[in-house]
Amino acid sequence: MKQTKKVRSSIKYIFLSIVLILGNVCVPHTTALAASAAVNLSLSTENVEVGSTFSVVLTVQASEEIGNLQCYLSFDSDVLKFVSGGANVTGGNGVVMISDKDSTDESTTKKYSMKFKAIKAGESTLWIEENASITCLLDDTTMSVSCNQLLFQITDPESVSDDTTLVKLLVSSGKLSPDFSKDRKKYKMEVEPTINQISVNAVPTDEKATVSISGNTKLQTGNNTVKITVTAPSGDKAVTKIVITKKESKVTQEETLNEKTLDTIQHAGVTASEDEAGNRFLSEELRLQIIPLEDESLLPENYEKTTIVLDGLPITVYNWKYDLNSDILLVYGMNQDGDTGLYQYNRANHTLTKYSQVKVATDTKESTAPAELENTVSPVTSYMIIICLLAGACIVLTILLVLQKMKVSSIHSNSNEKEDDFF
């Protein structure tokens, strides 16, 4: 019985312990959180210049209604001067005190405005000292306080450069006339007909100034204007102009025939050009505009599309695929009379001729090729001929070997017959 009582007593003790533990865990606890306040400094303007007066606003945002407030705002007296504040603001010599006590204003937000004067250019910082004190209005308990720093730049408008001059001006082709001068804003120069663009190196006197250049590409025959715009740090701008005169092409015509037809025009040199719309031309006396070939059936057989560069411009041409290095190329274009068709360009002697097809006979079909290529044999055809000749030679040798074998066999047979007759 005594042991039974002891067991029951132990069970009760364990049960009560479990109840107490569960009760302690399950019952929610409430912890009093301390009130807090945040102090924020801000400027009334984005740009602060030397000699200007501006406002700094101190804003207090608290979790409880604000009672007494006292804090110290520090600043650099070498670059700033305290001018004035409200009834609760006093200061000078690098420190401003904000003291607002016995306030009956039941609010969680308060603002205090102060005026400063910028006396020197440079970087300036305003900050709240660590001993800031803010209490709750209800029970006068002290709040935890967090503060920010205010960092800004003071500029001197008189120190901003308005220099828009150039210290250097160089061009890749031609020569400036007159010679470069820092104060000169207009120049002239000439370039050859083959020059389609020039590089311009313009260096501003002020390293912080920016330079933009326009009009130095896609030069046309005649006058072209290049504009060089210099923008100073102050925002002032100045434009320097270069008038570029692109010379006309003066290619002398060589007459190689006594009679000259409209379809054949001989040139000492065919030149390529491009207009403002991007159209490209091959021209001398005949001005041929290069246009897309919409119907490829107009091309002769075995011609492939490719591109060559003439006078710095890519030109679409058609090359015979069996001779990729041929000087004879076909171009499709429209002449000055509005007629379209294929023209033959000889890049060896720079001639442009109306294209005429020449029929070249083959074993199975007819193909067309330029007159200059009518006697050219395809590499594939040459290989086929060689293979056929070798095959024929093998057949002939085989037949001769068979005949020789048959002849030897016949001789042996006759010899055997004579021996039989002898016996």
Torsion, Cα of 159, 161, 167, 168 (10° steps): 140
For residue 29, being part of any structural domain is answered with no
Whole-prediction pTM value?
Answer: 0.36
For residue 45, being part of any structural domain is answered with yes
Residue 85 near residue 64 (C-beta atoms within 8 A): no
Question: Does 294 lie in the same domain as 181?
Answer: no
Q: Which residues of the chain have a pLDDT value below 50? A: 1-3, 7, 19, 25-31, 252-268, 358-369, 371-377, 421-423
For residue 257, being part of any structural domain is answered with no
For residue 107, being part of any structural domain is answered with yes
Q: Which of 191, 218, 246 is the last residue of a domain?
A: 246
- For residue 18, what pLDDT is reported? 60
Question: Does 209 lie in the same domain as 144?
Answer: no
Question: Does 199 lie in the same domain as 129?
Answer: no
Question: Does 112 lie in the same domain as 141?
Answer: yes
Q: What share of the chain is helix, strand, coil (3-state, %, to 5)?
A: 20, 40, 40
Q: Which helix (H) or strand (E) holds 11?
A: helix 2-26
Question: Does 221 lie in the same domain as 277?
Answer: no
Please tell me the distance from the alpha carbon of residue 93 to that of residue 75, in angstroms, as a whole number: 9
What digits encode the pLDDT tens for the residues 54-64?
Answer: 999 999 999 99
Give the per-residue SS3 of 201-221. Answer: EEEECCCCCEEEEECCCCCCC
CATH of the domain at 55: 2.60.40.680
Question: Does 225 lie in the same domain as 142?
Answer: no
- For residue 420, what pLDDT is reported? 52
Residues in the chain: 423
CATH of the domain at 224: 2.60.40
Q: Is 260 helix (H, G, I), strand (E, B) or coil?
A: coil
Q: Which of 334, 355, 373 is the last residue of a domain?
A: 373
Question: Does 296 lie in the same domain as 206?
Answer: no
Tokens of 241: 């102009």
Question: Does 67 lie in the same domain as 127?
Answer: yes
Q: In terms of residue numbers, what domain contains 117? A: 36-159
What is the number of other CB atoms lying within 10 angstroms of the CB of residue 236? 14
For residue 303, being part of any structural domain is answered with yes
- For residue 267, what pLDDT is reported? 40
- For residue 386, what pLDDT is reported? 86
What digits encode the pLDDT tens for the residues 280-297?
Answer: 877 766 778 889 988 888
Residue 213 near residue 228 (C-beta atoms within 8 A): yes
Count of domains observed in the chain: 3
φ/ψ (deg, to 5) at 78: -75, -25
DSSP symbol at 298: G
Question: Does 177 lie in the same domain as 77?
Answer: no
DSSP symbol at 177: B
Question: Does 192 lie in the same domain as 120?
Answer: no
Q: Which of 132, 159, 186 is the last residue of a domain?
A: 159
